[in-house]
């Protein structure tokens, strides 16, 4: 058991995100990966509500298979100018996203949910972090896209990878931008356990 993780029961991560697995490993949290089968669809609402909705849906989906384990669901979205930026579907969309983020602030919303059926523990919350990109040239954006890194990430960048060179400032939780506000998650989980 990790000093920080308040349970001897292994966590189940309802996500195939390597970033979330990396964060849990960094925190010393014993876990297994069991991706949810929930298909995210476009929906209206406030960004904080949307990420919580999908995080909860993923946790509940997987918790039915693991009633005796704490199941963690998470979702991340980038928000700028009242537009949610998900994962780009092609290189042109990645270019447009990165161009819109260049030299400007945006907000990363993270949704976190836990479902632990046998202990009757369930909670969900959202976290927001402001991020500012430095001014990017067209050639820099194109070079970054050729790495392939933007294609499976909300907002078309990964702060923990090559995308770190795009970021000028971060206000709030860095790990939320990476995919999981782990400190706040552990604080909430500890509040439910003796």
Domains detected in the chain: 11-192 (3.90.950.10)
Q: Is the four-CA dihedral 150, 78, 135, 165 of positive or negative sign? A: negative
How many other CB atoms sit within 10 Å of the CB of residue 171? Answer: 11
Whether 173 and 129 have beta carbons less than 8 Å apart is answered as: yes
Q: How long, in residues, is the chain?
A: 194
Annotation says 75 is catalytic: yes
Confidence of residue 12 (pLDDT cuts 50, 70, 90): very high
Confidence of residue 181 (pLDDT cuts 50, 70, 90): very high
58 closest CA partner among 44, 45, 74: 74
**Cα gap 178→127, rounded to integer Å:** 12
Distances (CA, A) of 2 to 9, 24, 68, 160: 11, 11, 19, 23
Mean pLDDT of 150-164: 94
Among the options 44, 49, 68, 75, which is catalytic? 75
State the pLDDT at residue 109: 97
pLDDT at 42 over 90: no
Q: What is the pTM of this model?
A: 0.93
SS (H, E, C) the chain: CCCCCCCCCCEEECCCCHHHHHHHHHCCCCEEECCCCCCCCCCCCCHHHHHHHHHHHHHHHHHCCCCCCCEEEEEEEEEECCEEECCCCCHHHHHHHHHHHCCCEEEEEEEEEEEEHHHCEEEEEEEEEEEEECCCCHHHHHHHHHCCHHHHCHHHCCCCCHHHHHEEEEECCHHHHHCCCHHHHHHHHHHHCC
Task: Give the chain's mean pLDDT.
Answer: 95
pLDDT at 28 over 80: yes
State the pLDDT at residue 40: 85
Q: Which residues of 26-59 are buried (b: 16+ CB within 10 A; e: fewer)?
A: ebebebeebebebeeeeeeeebbebbbbbbbbbb
> What is the dihedral angle through the alpha carbons of 56, 58, 105, 158, rounded to the nearest 10 degrees?
150
């Amino acid at each position: 058991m990790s000093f920080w993780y308040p349970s001897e029961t292994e966590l189940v991560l309802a996500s195939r995100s390597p970033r979330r697995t990396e964060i849990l490993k960094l925190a010393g949290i014993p876990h297994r990966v069991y991706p949810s089968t929930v298909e995210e669809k476009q929906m209206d609402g406030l960004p904080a509500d949307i990420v919580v909705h999908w995080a909860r849906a993923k946790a509940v989906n997987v918790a039915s298979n693991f009633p005796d384990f704490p199941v963690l669901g998470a979702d991340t979205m980038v928000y700028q100018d009242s537009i949610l930026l998900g994962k780009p579907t092609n290189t042109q969309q990645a270019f447009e996203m990165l161009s819109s983020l260049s030299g400007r602030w945006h907000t990363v919303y993270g949704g976190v949910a836990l479902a632990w059926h046998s202990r009757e523990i369930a909670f969900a919350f959202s976290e927001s972090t402001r991020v500012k990109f430095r001014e990017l040239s067209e050639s820099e954006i194109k070079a970054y896209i050729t790495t392939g890194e933007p294609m499976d990430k909300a907002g078309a960048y990964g702060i923990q990878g090559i995308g770190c060179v795009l970021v000028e400032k971060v206000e709030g939780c860095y790990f939320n931008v990476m995919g999981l506000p782990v400190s706040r998650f552990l604080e909430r989980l500890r509040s439910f356990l003796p």
